[in-house]
Amino acid sequence: MSWELSEFGQGLCTGSGIGELMEDLGEALAAGGERMRMLGGGQPAHIPEVDAVWRLRMEEIMASRGELERMLGDYEGPAGNKRFRDSLAALFRREFGWDLGGENVAVTAGGQTAFFFLFNSLAGRFPDGRRRKILLPLVPEYIGYANQSTGGPLFRAAKPRLELIGDHEFKYRVDFEHLEIDEEVAALCVSRPTNPTGNVLTDSEVRHLAQLATENGIPLIIDNAYGAPFPNIIFSEAAPIWNENIILTQSLSKVGLPGTRTGIVIAREEVIRWMQSVTSIVGLANTNAGQAIMQPLLDNGEILRLSNEVIQTFYRARSEQARALVEEYFDPSLPWRVHKREGALFLWLWFEDLPISAGELYERLKARGVLVVSGNYFFYGLEDESWAHRNECLRISFTMPEETVRQGFRIIGEEVRNAYAGG
C-alpha cells in the first residue's frame, strides 16, 4: 500500500532532472571506477594551493582555544554568523562601493537552498488564487532551478537570440525585442556566468534587465555563484551590479568549499528577514564550518588574491585546454559550435541538425565510459517544445584531470562523427 503524496510531495519526492543526473553520476562512478570519464558534474577541481589554504585554516581553528568548539557546538542565528555577515558586506563595500551592511546579508545551507526559498517565496500560488512565475530571460539556464516548485509550474522562459561567431562558435543573447513581462511574472532570474554555457551577460544586458525589473515592480535575481569578487571565474569584462531591487546570491562552493554547503543572499532587509524566517522553520540554523573557514579571508582580502591569481587562472587554463581538444578531435567539416567561453567550469556544445537527440548521444557516450549532461534539461519553461536546438546540445565539464578530459573529448568526437554519418 502506497501512502498518498501531497502537492508538495508530488513535486519534490517523485524525481527530477537534476536528481536523475546526480544518481546516474554516482552509480556510474561506483560501477565504472576510474574507467569512467566524469565530464558531467559541476564538481569544482581540487586546486592544490586552494586546498592548502583550507588545511591551514582548519589547523588554525584547531589551535585556537574555543574556536573549534564554537564552530561545531553552537547554533548561530538563522541568518548566519553576525561577524561573517558584517565582514562580507564590508568586502563588497570596499570592492564595489555598494551601500550595504550585515543586515543585507543572509546565509543559507547552500546556494540551491537559497533559490528554493526565494523562488517559492516570490512565485507560485497566491491566497487570492493567482499564480505567478519566475521569468528566465535567457535559456539554457541552470538545471538545479527546474524542479524547485512546491506545487505547479514555476518558470517561464524566453528564447535566446543566437549570434554566430566564425565557423565554430556562437553566443546566446537576451532577445529584449520579444521579452514579455506581464502580471504573471513575479521576478526575473539569471545566472552570471551562466551554468551551463559559460555565458556572461554584458553589463548593458544586466542594466537593461534591472531597469525592466524596477519598472515592473519586481526583483531581478542574479545567481553569482561563479562571479566576482569570488570565485571570479570570469574570462570577460563584467562589472557586478546591485541595488535594492536586485537579489544577488553568492556561494562558497566554487572557491573550493562545496562540502560546507554555504550559500549567501545579498538583498534589501525585507528579503533577509524572509530568509531568516524560512531558515528557522525549515532548518533551524545554518552550517557554521564554511563561515568559520572563510571569515579571516574576507577580512584580510586573501579570498580576492586566491580568486584572481589562483582560481580564475586555473580555470582559464583548463578552458583553453578543453577548447584545444575540441579542435583536435572534432571533424571541422561537421556543423558543431562551441559557446563563447566567458566563465564557469563548462564547455557548451551545439551540434546543428544532429541526426540523433542529445539524450541518445548521452547514452552512447555513457556506454563508452564518458559522462556528460544532455542539453535538453536546461531549456525548461519554454512554451515551444518543438525547437530542435534544445535537443542538439551537450554540457561538458573540464574540471577533471587533463588526461581524463582528453580521453573524453576523443570519444565524444568519435561518437558525434558516427552520428552524423548515420552510425
Distance CA 247, CA 83 (A): 21
Per-residue pLDDT of the chain (423 residues; tens, 9 = 90+): 678 877 777 777 776 666 666 666 666 556 555 577 889 878 899 999 999 999 999 999 999 999 999 999 999 999 999 999 999 999 999 999 999 999 999 999 999 999 999 999 999 999 998 999 999 999 999 999 998 988 789 999 999 999 999 999 999 999 999 999 999 999 999 999 999 999 999 999 999 999 999 999 999 999 999 999 999 999 999 999 999 999 999 999 999 999 999 999 999 999 999 999 999 999 999 999 999 999 999 999 999 999 999 999 999 999 999 999 999 999 999 999 999 999 999 999 999 999 999 999 999 999 999 999 999 999 999 988 889 999 999 999 999 999 999 999 999 999 999 999 987
Domain ranges of the chain: 7-49+306-420, 75-301
| Residues 6+ positions from 414 with CB-CB distance below 8 Å | 329
Q: Are 234 and 200 in contact (CB under 8 A)?
A: yes
| Dist CA 55 CA 385 (whole Å) | 48
Measured CA to CA, the distance from residue 240 to residue 229 in angstroms comes to: 8
Question: How many helices (H) does the chain have, and how many strands (E)?
Answer: 13, 16
E strand segments, 281-406:
336-339, 346-351, 370-371, 373-374, 393-397
Closest CA to 187 of 127, 229, 145, 232: 145
What residue type is assigned to position 105 of the chain? Answer: V
Is the Cβ–Cβ distance between 233 and 76 less than 8 Å?
Answer: no
CA dist 315 and 234 (Å) reads: 9
What does the pLDDT read at residue 28? 55
CA nearest neighbour of 233 among 348, 342, 93: 342
CA–CA separation, 241 vs 198, rounded Å?
Answer: 18
pTM attached to this predicted model = 0.94
DSSP per-residue codes, 332-349: TTS-EEEE---BSSEEEE
Query: Which residue matches cell numbers 524572509?
Result: 274
Other beta carbons within 10 Å of 159: 18
Length reported for the chain:
423
Architecture of domain 75-301: 3-Layer(aba) Sandwich (3.40)
CB neighbourhood size of 271 (10 A): 21
Burial of 263 per CB tally in 10 Å (0-12, 13-18, 19+): buried
Cα angle: 54, vertex 59, 61; to 5 degrees: 95
Superfamily of the domain at 7-49+306-420? Aspartate Aminotransferase, domain 1 (3.90.1150.10)
Instruction: Give the relative orientation of helices 402-420 and 358-367 as an angle to the nearest 10 degrees.
Output: 130
DSSP 309: I
**d(Cα 121, Cα 112) in Å, to the nearest integer?**
14
